Structure 1
Amino acid sequence: MDLKQLVADAIDQSLDLDLLKDEIYDVLEVPRHEGHGDVAFPCFVLAKQLRKSPNAIAEELAENISGEGIGSVEVAGPYINFFLDQELVTEDILKEIYSQGDEFGQLHIGKGENVTIDMSSPNIAKPMSMGHLRSTVIGNAIANIEAKVGFNPIRINHLGDWGTQFGKLIVAYKRWGSEEAVKADPIASLLEYYVKFHEEADKDDSLNDEGRHWFKKLEDGDPEAVKLWKWFKDESLKEFNRIYDKLGVKFDYYTGEAFYNDRLQGIVDELDEKGLLEKNQGATIVNLDEFDLNPALILKSDGASLYITRDLATAEYRKETFDFAESIYAVGNEQSYHFKQLKAVLQRAGHDWQEQMHHIPFGLITAGGKKLSTRKGNVILLEDVLNDAVELAKEQIESKNPDLPNKDEVAHQVGVGAVIFHDLKNDRLNTFDFVLEEVVQFEGETGPYVQYANARAHSILRKAGFDGSKATDNQEFKLTDDVAFSVVKELNQFPSIVEKAYMTYEPSVIAKYVIGLAQSFNRYYAHTRILNEDSELQSRLSLVYAVTKVLEEGLALLGVEAPQEM
């Protein structure tokens, strides 16, 4: 229910002026303090037309306003504060949630169109670190939100399985590697070799030339290079999939950079045929002066491809294959310039669909204020963090509810959920420092706090033997107290919150909303004897059930599970 629309309708019916209802709606405000009403109308907008002071207009208009859903009005200077009919509005909102169930908040923006989402994309032969968390969980949440508003999300893991770093790794393995060590502990061993390569290359730059040489051999199909590369890739994917299972993240495609190798020449030929390629100091470029960007380097002087060459092939393949309505790249903020160049080259090539491509940048996760770096060995392994979070959750469950059945399962849901939620409650462009002990807390603005509020609500429903999924036409939704109405108004915001999260590609909008809803419910729980046997018992239980539906749906959009007992 659109509460502002109720008020806009009432004002429109009371005015005999050339003022559109949409104009009234646009200036309506939600007061910060509930004592100032549910919706406020600033009368400044009428002053010029009526040639009166806003205060006088407010006094006159307030005497004539009435309408369905309007309880009372109060004048506060130039404002008219509207207090809605709590019983009527509560009944309408709760009926809407019950009738729609899991589809509450569902929007029909997408019409089933495809949206490709490039997310996670770890590099082969390197461990998944905390640095990979953001792309993975932001991309997954955006995919869930896209589905909620009517699109068909296609999750793509664009693996970093190509590039000069593989030439460097081959050199490192041939110089210092051991087949037995790699078989025993693949990722740790490969990381050790990769770090050692860069340490040695800082002393001897010729190693970098050797690495580039071996990557060129890999591009040319050298049997030894290809065999080592495939081995590194297979071992890495086993590790990655174990971590994705912990996070509850699934992909539709694992099409990494190497997948597009046979399309690279087609990209070069297309750009050449369109007269876009130029030579610059032996390299092949596309000039982007008209976009105020540096030239896009398409081929190195030795003919080797670059990231942008493969990303051009990737973009064209995805458009041809999926005919996407949107193509989303959940990739760090440091790649913003790259995506500007990518879209500029596609535009020069005549591909108007580049406007449907959206880079969704995000800030860094730091540890102790320092950037994480695989290259320098300053890495916090994602799997270690998830395991530690689960252990912390289990310790707290043991102290709070030692008799809880399936403690291990709940500890996993709480621990992993805490890590995901902490990432997503931060505005994605912000950089934040990760401190595990602050993340896995049952108090404060955390994932476990929201999960616990939901579990508390389920506990109330179990005690009452209330099953909202079996609601009948006679279900009662009549509540009249202010604290309950605050919860109802919070629930009512969910569809607009989903829309805002979609429009801004910002999962934190939903995370902050469920924190607010959990806080509002906990205030209601502290204020109200919910299980008191009186005429409003069934209505109170209806409200509690509605809270569980919206909290669980909000958490699900973030990729966080919601245990019913904690």
Structure 2
Amino acid sequence: MKLTALAAETLHSVIPELQLDKITQLLEKPKHAQHGDLSFPCFELAKMKRTAPPLLAADIATQLRNAMIEKTEAVGPYVNIFFRKDMIQQKVVYIILKEKENYGTIHLKNKETIVLDLSSPNIAKPFSMGHLRSTVIGNAIANILEKSGFETVRINYLGDWGTQFGKLIAAYLKWGKEEKIRRNPIPELLKLYVKFHEEAAVNTDLNEEGRRWFKQLEEGNEEAVSLWKWFREESLKEFNKIYALLGVTFDSYQGEAFYNDKMDQVVQMLEEQDLLKESDGAQVVELDDPSLPPCLIKKSDGATLYATRDLAAALYRKKVYQFSKALYVVGQEQSIHFQQVKEVLKKANFDWAAEMHHIPFGLLLKDGKKMSTRKGKVVLLEEVLKEAIQLAERNIESKNPDLPDKEEVARQVGVGAVIFHDLKNYRVNSVEFSLEDMLKFEGETGPYVQYTYARANSILKKGKWTGEVIDKGLGDNYSWELTKLLQEYPEVIANSNKAYDPSLVAKHIVDVCQAFNSWYGNVKFLQEDAEKGARLALVSATAIVIKESLRLLGIQAPQEM
């Protein structure tokens, strides 16, 4: 039940001169309820007809007829449309209760596959708050894509190769203690990494030592490879604890090292197509876009680079997954890099490169500055999640100490608070890390949305709701504002899918919760009267939409709080 479509079709029957899409585009939502549910401005049509807009509005208002429309009125150049609240509400609630969590789902005949490159932390470094953004944004986009009818492949492209591993091996051999790392792997490896950079600032020979060890790693030196594998395994164990807390899973953990034996094919392919040019001893591909620098494929010492690896990864993924789109959920500072990779593939006549899209996001800032692992100024995600869970536990103990499964609910609320704090922001905007804001249990937060869901469940339980179909709607303004938001939900999903923007879902569900709580504050839900069944039906429909919205964002919905 889409109100804009209903209004547009009714208007189109009266003004066929304007195309249906154009009418839909022109429809507005009035700021005040007394101006109707939707409003149609007549300026554009008046120009076509060479008529004064107020006269045209008055004429259209008298002609509009639809059983779902209660009344229309002309106010100056606008046609204001008021819908039949009870009839619309009955239909919207009926659809939601029938479709349940499938409400808003698109069923495509031919399922296309979309691969997503997300999370991608660096091995042997802690999983910082900085990695949270790629992980939760990518996971939510994948959920929304699946609801929109696509198959997804979630790839955790681990940073498990590069000169930094030579530096880490050198640091471990100089200062490392095996028993310390076995006891507490990631913090100890971080200490070594930070110490290396502190010492290298004084003794620059250390950097050369790091490069030598990485060269030995590339050449298969037994000691170097053994240490690298150990660092990787220990890191993955730690990362998987975080992913389990966040409820995020992957279809592939193929990191940078996986493509080591696939890069020569890329270089050979570019040579065969005469795309490689020499520049100061290095091999580059010159790009047609004058705003982009040449793409560096091979350094003067013969070493390959990120671009070479990403080209190999793109070709491999296309071959294996036959994707229709490839999304790279990576920070916006990598924008030029992805443009270069895409342009190289286009020059090499891979048409599908047009469907590779960088999905950028802003930085997570601490005191207005980017977090840095190298200098040790890093906020660990695991510590933040644990602190959020502990705060949730304290709140439960003070407000509802007899709550069943207190520990599990605290985990859902604490983790949900952290995820929601990120996803309610448009992804391209940078987000200031603030534990205090993240963990507030009122306002536009995850706990507020979860609590509204628990409240709805409590009402249904007390009202002994059995899920029966109600052939009745309500006519009050409070429930009507909520109904209008619920009927917009499929459109919100569609828009979020098109823009790869989970914040649209997060913002919408906050609006739904606010409308629900406003209704809750003005109505006696459990009063035994003729409208009790219709009220409970709308409560149930609201609970379904809240729970499904949270699921799409990667957040669980506790039954009780």
Deviations 1:291-349 (A, max 9, x none): 43111111122211111111110000000000001111111111111101111111111
Q: Distance in 1 between matches of 2:115 and 2:391?
A: 36
Q: Say if 2:536 is the partner of 1:544.
A: no
Number of the residue aligned with 1:525: 520
Matched positions, count = 561
Q: Distance in 2 between matches of 1:458 and 1:477?
A: 21
Number of the residue aligned with 1:441: 440
SS in 2 for 1:493: helix
Number of the residue aligned with 1:508: 503
SS in 2 for 1:303: coil
SS in 2 for 1:284: strand
Residue identity opposite 1:523 in structure 2: S
SS in 2 for 1:259: helix
Number of the residue aligned with 1:215: 214
SS in 2 for 1:527: coil
Q: Distance in 1 between matches of 2:368 and 2:22?
A: 47
Asked whether the equivalents of residues 90 and 470 of structure 2 are also in contact (C-alpha less than 8 Å), the reply is no
**Structure 1 residue 88: deviation in Å?**
1.2
Q: Say if 2:23 is the partner of 1:28.
A: no
Number of the residue aligned with 1:432: 431
Number of the residue aligned with 1:13: 13
Number of the residue aligned with 2:488: 493
Q: Kindly report which structure 2 residues correspond to 1:191-202, keeping only aligned pairs within 5 A, or say none.
A: 191-202=190-201
Number of the residue aligned with 1:234: 233
**Structure 1 residue 540: deviation in Å?**
0.3
Q: Distance in 1 between matches of 2:48 and 2:304?
A: 65
Bigger Cα displacement from structure 2, 542-551 vs 71-80: 71-80
Residue identity opposite 1:397 in structure 2: I
Bigger Cα displacement from structure 2, 113-122 vs 23-32: 23-32
Q: Distance in 2 between matches of 1:111 and 1:216?
A: 47
**Structure 1 residue 290: deviation in Å?**
3.9
Deviations 1:504-563 (A, max 9, x none): 111101100110000000001001111111111000000000000000000000000000
**Structure 1 residue 466: deviation in Å?**
0.9
SS in 2 for 1:506: coil
Q: Distance in 2 between matches of 1:223 and 1:291?
A: 45
Number of the residue aligned with 2:111: 112
Residue identity opposite 2:42 in structure 1: C
**Structure 1 residue 110: deviation in Å?**
8.0
Deviations 1:440-489 (A, max 9, x none): 22211100000000100000000011133xx3xx5334211111111111
Number of the residue aligned with 2:224: 225
**Structure 1 residue 23: deviation in Å?**
2.5
Specify whether residues 339 and 462 from structure 1 end up closer, same or farther in structure 2 by C-alpha distance, changes over 3 A only: same
Number of the residue aligned with 1:458: 457
Asked whether the equivalents of residues 94 and 546 of structure 1 are also in contact (C-alpha less than 8 Å), the reply is yes
SS in 2 for 1:374: coil
**Structure 1 residue 286: deviation in Å?**
1.2
Q: Distance in 2 between matches of 1:182 and 1:25?
A: 62
Specify whether residues 477 and 563 from structure 1 end up closer, same or farther in structure 2 by C-alpha distance, changes over 3 A only: farther
Percent same amino acid at aligned positions? Answer: 53
Number of the residue aligned with 2:76: 77
Residue identity opposite 1:497 in structure 2: V
**Structure 1 residue 250: deviation in Å?**
0.6
SS in 1 for 2:521: helix
Q: Kindly report which structure 2 residues correspond to 1:107-146, keeping only aligned pairs within 5 A, or say none.
A: 107-108=106-107, 111-146=110-145
Residue identity opposite 2:494 in structure 1: E
Q: Distance in 1 between matches of 2:241 and 2:195?
A: 26
Deviations 1:106-132 (A, max 9, x none): 023583211111111010101101011
Q: Distance in 2 between matches of 1:333 and 1:207?
A: 32
Deviations 1:193-220 (A, max 9, x none): 1011111111222222221221111111
Number of the residue aligned with 2:161: 162
Which TM-score applies when normalising by structure 1? 0.97
**Which runs of structure 1 show a deviation greater than 6 angstroms over 4 or more consecutive aligned residues?**
none
Specify whether residues 117 and 467 from structure 1 end up closer, same or farther in structure 2 by C-alpha distance, changes over 3 A only: farther
Bigger Cα displacement from structure 2, 171-180 vs 474-483: 474-483
Asked whether the equivalents of residues 362 and 427 of structure 2 are also in contact (C-alpha less than 8 Å), the reply is yes
Asked whether the equivalents of residues 284 and 298 of structure 2 are also in contact (C-alpha less than 8 Å), the reply is yes
Which TM-score applies when normalising by structure 2? 0.98
Q: Kindly report which structure 2 residues correspond to 1:71-470, keeping only aligned pairs within 5 A, or say none.
A: 71-108=70-107, 111-468=110-467
**Structure 1 residue 289: deviation in Å?**
4.8
Residue identity opposite 1:346 in structure 2: L
Residue identity opposite 2:518 in structure 1: R
Bigger Cα displacement from structure 2, 289-298 vs 48-57: 289-298
Q: Say if 2:551 is the partner of 1:556.
A: yes
**Structure 1 residue 12: deviation in Å?**
2.6
Residue identity opposite 1:300 in structure 2: K
Asked whether the equivalents of residues 122 and 158 of structure 2 are also in contact (C-alpha less than 8 Å), the reply is yes
SS in 1 for 2:154: strand
Residue identity opposite 1:88 in structure 2: M
Number of the residue aligned with 2:475: 480
Q: Distance in 2 between matches of 1:301 and 1:19?
A: 62
Number of the residue aligned with 1:3: 3
Q: Distance in 1 between matches of 2:494 and 2:92?
A: 18
Q: Distance in 1 between matches of 2:151 and 2:177?
A: 45
Q: Distance in 2 between matches of 1:117 and 1:62?
A: 49
* Structure 1 spans left out of the alignment, 5+ residues: none
Q: Distance in 2 between matches of 1:477 and 1:201?
A: 75
